[in-house]
Every structure is written in structure tokens, then in C-alpha cells.
Structure 1
Amino acid sequence: MAGAGGNVVSGGTQGTVVQAGHIEHLVVHQAPPPADEVTVAPPFGRRGAALRGREELTTRLLAASGTHVLYGLGGVGKTSLALEVADVLARDGAPVWWVAAQDAGRLAGGLRAVARRVGLDAEELAGGQTADLLWERLAALPGPWLLLLDNADDLALLDGPGSLAAGTGWVRAPAGAAGLVLVTTRDGDPAAWGSGPVLHRLGALPGPEGARVLVDRAGPDAGPATDAAALSVRLGGLPLALDSAGRYLASVAERPAFLRTPGEPATYSAYLDALGTGDVTVDGDGTLARIWAMSLRLLRDRGHAHAEELLRLLAGFADAPVPLRVFAPERVDIPPGELWTCLQALDRLGLAALRTDEEPVVSLHPLVRDAFRGERERLSAALAVTLDPPQAGGRLWELLVPHLLHDLDAGRTEDGWRAALLAVDSLEVRGMVRAVPSAARSVAEATVRALGPVHPLSLAARLAHGQALLDGGQAGQARVLLGELAADMAETLGPDAPDTLECRHTLAMAHHLCGDLDGAREVNARVLTARDRVLGPAHPATLTTRHNQAMVLVQLGDPAGALAEFDAILAAETAEMAEMAETAGTAGIAGTAGTAGSAAARGDALARTLVTRENRVHVLRMLGDTEGAREELQAVHDARVRLFGADHPTTLSARYNLATVLPPDRAREELTAVLDARTRVLGPDHPVTLATREALERTARTLPE
């Protein structure tokens, strides 16, 4: 009500008469309804199909006493679990009281009704000590009983006459009682609940259990269990969403085919596809939207003003854990302390999952991501350009890759495209050979669409794609792509530009792998002349081209010429490493900066030297020096294990070559191990894997049976 003076009366006003002078704002709390008008009967009519995935917790609660709190995301099945416990106890003859705790009126009215059921009379209820007397009577009751408070999201209401955390509010732990107090809530903040209650977080249902929920609702004809499990994962294992999707499919199935809309999904897999395109929604009646709105309102009431902003940011990432380092102060405007408490609150409400292990991450619930899809903010696209490069290694880049390759066409800045290229580089650095070609192709195609084919970033992406095809065993495709790219680069950047020369260098490798040795020698010669002129004879890029030309000489039947090339390359690389070692020693004594970078450079130089030594072995074998080849390959293999690990593709290359100069019985043992590793790392159909299998079969045929 508002008067001419601007006074406002809010709250429950029915039956309220106010007469006052000048009052700016008056809140009138409506009295709770009389106890006789409040039902505390459990709503067993709301029970649906069998409860899935909560059997263990149900059993524990049925054997428990004291106060237990079920908390988690709205729709996760807290009330369904409480109804299951209530039903079992009621059928066993135990008294069960159900109190709706959404607001002060229903909470107080329900608890007063329970107080009447346990023997408090009207005079005692009017004495102002209802809470204390209620808990005294409950503690004295013989045998099992259940008091259930449902939807107690506003924990301030549970303080009642005292304090929830201190054990003096409306909810307490009845010491020594044989009864069970069960509370359902979104808010599992341990500080707010105090030490009395036992907290149980309800999380998502695992894929198989979620699949059972879908089958219960949709019936047996919606598809195999594997498809149901995949749909369950996409729905985040949220029982409410599973129930909605299952009932949708059931409603489609019960209609005759001629009454269905064309393309209307009738199976789990079709529904999953339709979700991805936005053709269907799991939230047809807006129930989930109301759940998210209620959760956000609760967060705002708790003082988390940045919750909605943070959810929008998280919705801009892929459906994968997001490393918390991306929310550093220089990238977001949320103060670090508030960011952390907000993440904790999102975790407690089940909107997100927070993990604080070696590399702290947060994962947004997939349905929450869907809800914020239209409002998300793209923080992920450019974040990597301010981080350490992929060569720095560590868990961080493994976590970043899915986000940097997510939504490649979603309006990226140039920094965003650089970040995508770094993600491809990260896959290469970590030896994920099978994943690189498809990732590189996606980035190249998206960059060309966004920036045009000859933008510097598009040229770099196209080159990364060609290199990935070559490394992935697709030399023919790589040769076509690189030939077109070399012409574009020469025209756009100039014939002697570093990227142009790198493209032509890679094109020569493609010619070589396709068996065109004369073409490889011709292109290598042109690149070598240009690099020697532009970069100098000792530059690593010049030496790499010289190295490749030596390999061509090997295959063209000129081992003496190839050996002279390799020895010259090795001498230059050894001199470079010696100079680096001397420089590093001086830096260490002087205490100057850059030691870590120098160590990385020395590591790169060592890796190049190992390649030279490994390829030089082929010439030694052609010249009949098998013992020298064996010793050299063993040293290369051992060094690569230390540098990259036993399963890195280059380490496996050295081990394969070593096997070819061993006696047949040892060779079979080594080749078997290499085949297992290459199958695992590169895939069973990769050309290198197939070559290993053929070599093993040839070796096995030479051994006596």
C-alpha cells in the first residue's frame, strides 16, 4: 500500500490495520496460518518411477539417527530421495512429518503442527518457547520417527529463535534420540549448518544409472542402453532433466507415426542430436529455468554479486574442466577473493564443480551452460596468448586445448586465432599425433573463412595443417596443400620470407615421402641456397634443410656424399651446443636472467642433434658398419627416453631402428614392444604402425620354429 506521503507497506497485509504518522517504509510479516490449517503429511502422491542411483545413501539414511542434510543442485533428486526414506519408514509404522520450508510462514506453521502432534498444547505453543519444547519432546520419543524439512534453501529462516549453526534454531541434532531429521536444501555451506548435522551432497547420476532413469520413463524401444547412457551424460546426470527427456520420448512413442512431426526425435540418439542443434529442449515447461533463477537469487541473497557474470564467462568455454588460472585478475574484473567465494558457492549449489588438485579447475554443469548459451562471454578465445607457450609443458595446456579449439567461428579476435594455433602446437608438443591433423584442419578452415586465405594467420594455420598431414602419414594430401600454399606465400610474403622457405622445406619432405626423390632434391636445393644466403650456413633451419637433402642422397644411392653431409651437420650442431654450454656457465656464475630459456634452447639443440645422429646411422649401415650403427642408435634411444619419455613418437623411431640392427630373437622382442606402443599412440592403421607390423612379421619368419 502506498500513501500520498510516499509510505510503503509490504509483506503480508491481509487482516492488518496500520495507523501511524510519517513512516517512510514499513514491512509487515504476515503471521503463519494456525497449526490446524497446515498439513505435515508426506506428499507420497508425488512419487514417480523407481529411484535410481541412490540405493546406498538410502540404506545409510534408513539406519541413521540425528540430523542429516541432503544438498545439491535443484532437480538433482533431493526430494525424491527424501520421499523414498519417508515411504519406507511410514510403511514400517514410524511417525513421519513433512514440513515445507520454502518460507517463514510454512516453516513455522509446519513445525507448530508437528509440535501439536508430539503433545504440546495451545498454552505451551503460546509461551514463546516452541522450538525448545519441540526438540525436548522429539528427543524423548521412543522408537524411530522422521521429521523432514523440504526445500530449506534460505538458511536464515532455520535460525528461528536462535542460530542454526549454534544448534539453537528451528533445526537441531536431537542428541540421544532414536529419530531421524532430514533436510533438503540447495545450500550445503558447512559454516552455516554448524557441526551438528551430517551433510550429504547429491551429485549427478553416472551414465549407466542415468540410462536406467531414461529407460524407466521412455520405455524399451527408444534405443540401446549405450545411447541412453550417452544422452544421460549430455544431460549432466540431472534426474529432473532425465525424467523430462524420458517422458518426452515416451510421449512421441505412444503416438502413431503419421501424427509425428517430421524429424521429431523418437530415440535417445536422435534426441541427443536434436539437443545439439537446438531443435528440442529438455526444459519445455521452463522448470529448469526457474531452478537456475532460484539458485541465482539465493546466491545474490548470500552476497555473491558476481555469480551471474561468472556463469556467463564459464558458459563461453567448452564442456570440459576450466583451469582457474584463466580467471587471473588481469583477465576478469572480479576481485580474486570474491571470485573464489563465488566459485565455492556455485560448487555448493551444484551449478558447477570445483576441484583444487595439482591444477585447480571448475566444471560448469552442462544444462547450466545451455541456459546461459545466449548470454555467454568469450573469455577463452584469447586467454592463451598471455600464458606460457605450449613447450613449457605441464597440465595447464592439456586443460586449455578443448577451450581454445571450441566454437572456432564465434567471432574471434586475432589473438583468439593465435590461441587456436597454440593449441594445435600443444597437441604436437605432447605427442598426440592422432589428434593433430583434424585439429589443424579445423583451425585452418575456420581461419580462412574468418580472415581470408592469405592473411598471415591464415597462412600460418594452413602451414600447420600441411605439417600435420605430413606427420600423420598423409604425404599425398600434404604435397597438394603445401604446393598451393607455397605459391600463395611467395606472392604474399615474398620468396625468401622465413614462412615461405619453411613451407617449401616441408613441401620437399612431402615429395620425399611420396617417392619423388628428384622433386625433393630440386626443392631442397633451392631452399638450401636461400636459407644459406638469408640465415647463414650454421642456422638451425639451414642445417635442417641440409639434413633432409642428405637423406635424399641416401635414397638416391650416394652414401658417401650423404655421410659427408651428416658429418658436417653434426660438427655444426656440436659446436652450437658447446657454445650454448659455455654461455650457460657464464650466466650461472654471473647470476643473470634467462637461464631457463637457455636450458630450453639447449634442449632443442640436443633434439636436433639426435635426429642427425639417428639418420646418420642409415648411412653407416649402407657402408656396412653395423656395430657402429647399433651403438649410435642405442645412445640416441636412451637420450630420447630422458628427453621425451618412452612412448614419444621420436623415441619409438629410435627403438624401431635399433631393432633392425639386433639379432633376430632380440629384434622380435623389441619390434613387438614398438608395435604395441605405436598402436596405442598413433593408431593401428597409421603407416608407421603398419610398417612396424610388417617388419615384425619378416623378423618372425627368419626365426626357427
Structure 2
Amino acid sequence: MTGAEAGTGTGTGRNSITGGTQGTVVQAGHIEHLVVQQAPPPADEVTVAPPWGLRGAPLRGRAELLARLLAASGTHVLYGLGGVGKTSLALEVADALARDGAPVWWVAAQDAGRLSGGLRAIARRLGLGEDELAAGQTADLLWERLAALPGPWLLVLDNADDLALLDGPGALAAGTGLVRAPSAAGLVLVTTRDGDPASWGTGPVLHPLGALPGPDGARVLTDRAGADAGAAPDAAALSRRLGGLPLALDSAGRYLASVAERPAFLRTPGEPATYAAYLAALGAGDVTVDGDGTLARIWAMSLRLLRDRGHTHADALLRLLAGFADAPVPLRVFAPGRVDIPPGELWACLQALDRLGLASLSGDGEPVVSLHPLVRDAHRTGRERLSAALARETGEPEELGPLWPLLEPHLLDGLAPGTPAEVWEAAVLAVRSLAARGLLSGAGDAARTVRAGTARDLTADHPVARLARLQDGRTLTALGEAGRALDVLTPLAGECAGALGAEDPFTLEVRHERAIALQMAGDYDASRAENAAVLRARLRLLGPDHWKSLHTRHNLAMDLALLGRTREALAELEAVLDGEGRTLGREHYDTLTTRENRAIMLRVLGDTDAALAELTTVAEARHRLLGPDHPDTLTARFNVATLLPADRARVEMAAVLDARVRVLGPDHPVTRATAEAVARTLPE
């Protein structure tokens, strides 16, 4: 930015530059101060006083780290994303030590002129003469004087983002640069974006400064906007959307404060005045937290730093990451062949983004990278397609592989008009994954979205459009809405039979799901007839041991059970279990279902000991494999409870009822049946 006058800022305060300055504004805001690249000032005009005027509202969320720094000595580095509050924390440390009488010096370290001028000014204050400074040993002489100081002191080097400047006459990592290990009484505090351990060496202690968690971010908003802007949960929700970034929280809070202080008749219609309204407007694009471009300039500087260090793919990778949903991205999507960045360079670039706080690498089992939500907003130019390709290679969602929960949000993100068929197909896989994990409400919402989207973007006879309708019907059945499921599946079965043939594999899949809906609706004769027809076709086409044949045979056995033919049902289930045990394994999802229903038949026939033992084993396996709140785990717990003594049964059924209300909702047929069962266990 050049010219006679320029300004950046948020809220009621505004920084300005006047005169004939030239250079680039690289950072501004109330959390971290304005920095201007320009010609270094004369030595006698350099200030080393802390910028107390930048202190504002109370510091939030840093109490533990603040206490550690106040008790520390040596060199400590605060690093993280621009706007995360590094300068604010350093000012709190400076204020506390200054109030205790310790000398405090503050050096702006964003350019060579200010850094050198500041250190020379401190050297003069410590008694070094011009002759000594002119000898070219300023760094050595300064650190000798600092080491000789008797009491506590603090030196802050703020905004030291270009670490090459800190090498000075030696090397920062070797301890011979402009930042060195102080005496036992001294504390050196450096704020920077760059937390690369290799650059700092082994001496300094590195402290990553991350985003503020929801409650602390909510308090920052309340500090700025006041209590009238809304309740704490609304402030916490807005804080999460802003990624807990103090500079963004400050901007949003000051915006709301500025709206609140105006008379109502001077407000624009629809202008957000509460946290909830601001969050909605932010999502709709009606407001921006970066109206003056401060954040964009901060992140642009970080990217320039990466480019200067040889990370030529940083911009492209950041834009690619920004195309994903606001959720962790599995690194497998960047496998060789999917992106044009060599694996070694990609990994180095991800690490560099992590060190500068633009992204975060994590993951115990499945490595992921997370992009700060505001960084994502600023760099998003389009929707990614890599997750769809990975989904097609990941296996069946019902196998509950660890990648599916990570892929779901990306597969369901940005499904706008014109989405390609292959992306819609991957979205269907995400719906299946949600359902398999027992997240039925989310699966239902996603299934409706995908079905509507495919109906809009694809022809009615497109295979993916039919697949979306099948999954919608399947999900409705799982939600206990058998009538609505039949409204979807019955016409689809007729269309597929006419277009593909009655025994086409996809037609058989639709008819199989329709039979399940008929069974849930209580039409056992119709369900039995449909299951029998599907089974005959599958036995002929797939053979008796294929899992789909076994699945349909299991459902036919349950028709027999529901029609009161328990012994026939038990014999069929035992035959199915033999096949599933051989082909799928004893703890496969389908096998556990068959084992459970076989145990129920044993209970009906009076063999309660064998039934209880098997049901207990199934419940334990489901708890281990699916988790405590999965609908199938709750079903297994309920079935065990039916065989417990009355007092224990009542307690266990009540616990299952509470969980089913939470997981399935109070109106799900299974929840209502559980409530009736609990009522029957109550004493007269």
C-alpha cells in the first residue's frame, strides 16, 4: 500500500499512516498491532517502550500460559496464526513484570531497521557507548550486559516472523544470533508466526498459541459486544464459527457493539444486532468479519513467507484444502496420483502450514489436516472432488472403516446445482455411512437432500438417481417410517422391474428393501411373499452362501417368526447362521443380527439360559464394535433386559429408553415400544 494516507482497523478505533510513507501494511487490529514496512527510522527515534495503548479488554483463555511465563526465565517463543493474540499475551506479561518493578523493553522485530535500532537503544540504556557499538560487536556486548543484570527483566521481540533477521552476526539455532539464552533472572519473549523447531534450535521453549475454545471465545465477544447481544450459548456458537480467533472475535464483537449503540431507527433493516443474527448473516454472506481485509493481509504475509522458503505449492495446497468442508481432512485424499504435488513436497508444505498456524496436522490413527475456518473462507474458490474419488476406493460403509466418519462431511458439503453424478454417488455412500454408524437423524436429513439433488441434476432413470431413491427409502425404514418408505420403494421397484427386469441385481435390492418396509408395517404375508421371490432369484444368480442370499433368507425367517411359526424360523436362522459363520465371521454385523434373533427364538421356546448367554455375548460385541449408543447396541441391551430379574430388568429397560429417546427420538416406533415395555415392568 502506498500513498499519503492509508488506514486499517475495526470497530471504533482506526490506525492511520500519514505523510510520505511507502511499504506494505502487513498486520493490524486490536489484538495484534499495526506493522508497516518502511525505511528504518533514525536510531534516536526508535522506541523500546511496550505499546500499552494496544491493551484493551481482559485477556481471555491464556491464564495458565500467562502464569507459566511469569514464573519462567530463558527464551520463550509464542507462535501461531496471525491474529491469535500473541502480542496481547506478551503485553500481559510485560504489564505484570513492570508493575513488579522489573525493566521491560519492547522491540518491534518485523524488519531489520527496527530490530537493529531497538537492540542498539537497549544497549545504550545498559551503558554501552557509541564507540563500543561502532565496533561491530553489538550482539555480544548487549547479551553480556543483560547477563550481568541482578534482578528480573523482560525483553520482548514482537512480530519476529522473518527468522533470518534474528541470525544477526551468527546463527539463531546455534545460540549465536540476536536472540540468546539470557541469565537465570531474565526472560526473553518472542512473538512470531514461525514455530519451526529446526530454526529455533534447542534453547528456546516453543509455545504454540491456538484458537480460544468456545466459552473463552464467548467471553471475548461479551467483553466487546456486551450482555445484550445474546446468551452465552449463542456467543459460543459464533466463536466456534470464527474459529476462536481473537482478532476475528474482536471484530465481530465491536461490530455488534456499534450496532447496539445506534438508535433503532438508524439501523438498516435486517442488520444483525445479536450473536445468533450475526452468525446467520455470516453464513448467508451478508456480513464479513474481515471487512477491511486485515485478516487477508495477515494470511497473505504468511503465504509469502512460505514461498520465500521454497514452498512453491503452498498457495495451491491452501486453495485445495479450502475446498473441503469445515472438518478434518484425511491425508489419504492426497495420495500420489490424486494431486500434482510430489508426496515429499506435499508433506513439507503441510508441516509448514501447520507451523504457521494456517492449518493443523493431527490424528492418532488416521492422519488428518484441519484448516482454520476463516482461512478456509478466505481461500475457497471451488469445491474439492478428491474425497469422492477416495470414497469409491474405501470399501463398503457398513464395514465401519475409520475413514468413513472423516469423509462424511466432505462428501455431503457443497452439493449445489450442477453437481456431477459421481459426486452424488459418493454422497449416497456418506448417507449409508451415517446410517451404519447409527446416526439415523443425520442420515435421514442427508438422504432427503441427496434424493432431491439427484432428482434436480440427473434424469429420473439415471442409475445414481435411482440409487439415491433406494437409500432414501432404506433410511426411512430405519427411522421407523415404514409407510413413507413404501411410498418411495414401491414405485421404484415397479420402475426398475419394467426398465431393468424383475431379477436385475438392482431391482432385487429395491425389492429386498421393500420387503423390510412391509415387515415393519406389519404386512407379514406380503413381506414373506416378496422375500421368497427375491430369495429364489438370488439363490439362482448368486448361490446359497452369498451374503445377499443369506440376508434375504434371514428376513424370510423373521417373517415366519412374526407369523407365529417359531420352530420353522429357528431352523432357518440356524441354517443362515451356519452360512454367515463360514463366509462372514462370527462378529460380522449380519452374523450378530442372526445370532440375536436366533436367541430370541430360543427364549420364546423356553430355553432362557441359552438365550440369555447368547444375547449377552451379542450385546458385549455390539458395544465393543459399534459403541454404547448405536441403535443395535441398545436393541441388544433391551433383549438382555427381558431375561433379567424384575428389578434389574426395570432399571436396564429404563436406561435403554432414555438412550433411545436421545438417539432415535421419542416418536420412533422402537422408542414407543420400549416405553410400553418399561410401563409393564412397573409395580401395580
TM-score bracket for this pair, using the shorter chain length = 0.7 to 0.9
Residue in structure 2 matched with residue 99 of structure 1 by the alignment: 107
Residue in structure 2 matched with residue 235 of structure 1 by the alignment: 242
Distance 1:663 1:132, change over 3 A: closer
Residue in structure 1 matched with residue 575 of structure 2 by the alignment: 571
Task: Compute the TM-score of the two structures, normalised by the length of structure 2.
Answer: 0.87
Secondary structure class of the residue paired with 1:164 = coil
Find 1:431's aligned residue among 429, 434, 438. Answer: 438
User: Structure 1 stretch 59-68 or stretch 257-266: which is displaced more?
Assistant: 59-68
**How many angstroms apart in 1 are the aligned matches of 2:395 and 2:544?**
31
**How many angstroms apart in 2 are the aligned matches of 1:227 and 1:649?**
31
Report whether the alignment pairs 1:483 with 2:490.
yes
Q: Is the 8 A contact 2:394 2:403 kept in 1?
A: no
Residue in structure 1 matched with residue 606 of structure 2 by the alignment: 626
Residue in structure 2 matched with residue 21 of structure 1 by the alignment: none
The C-alpha deviation readout for 1:307-354, integer Å capped at 9, x for no partner, is 112111211211111122222112222222222222221111111111
1:520, distance to aligned residue in structure 2 (A): 3.6
* Match runs of 1:47-446 below 5 Å: 47-176=55-184, 178-374=185-381, 377-409=384-416, 412-446=419-453
Which one-letter code corresponds to 1:82 in the other structure?
Answer: A
**How many angstroms apart in 1 are the aligned matches of 2:193 and 2:140?**
26
Q: How many residues align?
A: 646
**How many angstroms apart in 2 are the aligned matches of 1:280 and 1:331?**
35
Report whether the alignment pairs 1:635 with 2:638.
no
Q: Is the 8 A contact 1:312 1:377 kept in 2?
A: no
Q: Is the 8 A contact 2:553 2:576 kept in 1?
A: no
1:564, distance to aligned residue in structure 2 (A): 3.4
Query: Larger Rg: 1 or 2?
Result: 1
Which one-letter code corresponds to 1:606 in the other structure?
Answer: T
1:457, distance to aligned residue in structure 2 (A): 1.2
**How many angstroms apart in 1 are the aligned matches of 2:367 and 2:335?**
13
Residue in structure 2 matched with residue 698 of structure 1 by the alignment: 680
Q: Is the 8 A contact 1:218 1:250 kept in 2?
A: yes
The C-alpha deviation readout for 1:552-607, integer Å capped at 9, x for no partner, is 455455x3xx6436525643653x458x4xxxxxxxxxxxxxxxxx6569946734
Find 1:606's aligned residue among 574, 591, 614. Answer: 591
User: Structure 1 stretch 274-283 or stretch 297-306: which is displaced more?
Assistant: 297-306
**How many angstroms apart in 2 are the aligned matches of 1:89 and 1:99?**
16
1:186, distance to aligned residue in structure 2 (A): 0.7
Distance 1:670 1:182, change over 3 A: closer
Q: Is the 8 A contact 1:65 1:179 kept in 2?
A: yes
Secondary structure class of the residue paired with 2:229 = coil
**How many angstroms apart in 1 are the aligned matches of 2:100 and 2:643?**
78
Distance 1:344 1:35, change over 3 A: same
Which one-letter code corresponds to 2:136 in the other structure?
Answer: G
Aligned-pair identity in percent equals 67
RMSD: 3.0
1:249, distance to aligned residue in structure 2 (A): 0.6
**How many angstroms apart in 2 are the aligned matches of 1:477 and 1:51?**
54
Task: Compute the TM-score of the two structures, normalised by the length of structure 1.
Answer: 0.84
User: Structure 1 stretch 151-160 or stretch 369-378: which is displaced more?
Assistant: 369-378
The C-alpha deviation readout for 1:151-208, integer Å capped at 9, x for no partner, is 11000011111111111111111234x3322211111111111122222221111111
Distance 1:161 1:566, change over 3 A: same
Secondary structure class of the residue paired with 1:415 = helix
User: Structure 1 stretch 241-250 or stretch 491-500: which is displaced more?
Assistant: 491-500
The C-alpha deviation readout for 1:594-631, integer Å capped at 9, x for no partner, is xxxx65699467346426625645xx83xxx323x652
Secondary structure class of the residue paired with 1:347 = helix
* Match runs of 1:517-532 below 5 Å: 517-521=524-528, 523-524=530-531, 526-527=533-534, 530-531=537-538
**How many angstroms apart in 2 are the aligned matches of 1:550 and 1:218?**
64
Q: Is the 8 A contact 1:543 1:569 kept in 2?
A: no
* Match runs of 1:546-565 below 5 Å: 547-556=554-563, 559=565, 563-564=567-568
User: Structure 1 stretch 640-649 or stretch 76-85: which is displaced more?
Assistant: 640-649
Q: Is the 8 A contact 1:646 1:652 kept in 2?
A: no
**How many angstroms apart in 1 are the aligned matches of 2:85 and 2:93?**
13
User: Structure 1 stretch 276-285 or stretch 58-67: which is displaced more?
Assistant: 58-67
1:392, distance to aligned residue in structure 2 (A): 4.3
The C-alpha deviation readout for 1:454-503, integer Å capped at 9, x for no partner, is 21111112111111111111112112111222233223322222222222
**How many angstroms apart in 1 are the aligned matches of 2:584 and 2:503?**
30
* Match runs of 1:454-473 below 5 Å: 454-473=461-480
Secondary structure class of the residue paired with 2:682 = helix
Find 1:689's aligned residue among 645, 663, 671. Answer: 671
Q: Structure 1, unaligned stretches of length 5 or more?
A: 1-13, 15-29, 581-597
User: Structure 1 stretch 126-135 or stretch 48-57: which is displaced more?
Assistant: 48-57
Distance 1:343 1:533, change over 3 A: closer
* Match runs of 1:603-682 below 5 Å: 603=588, 606-607=591-592, 609-610=594-595, 613-614=598-599, 616-617=601-602, 621=604, 625-627=605-607, 631-632=610-611, 634-639=613-618, 641-642=620-621, 644=625, 647=628, 648-660=630-642, 664-665=646-647, 667-668=649-650, 670-679=652-661, 681-682=663-664
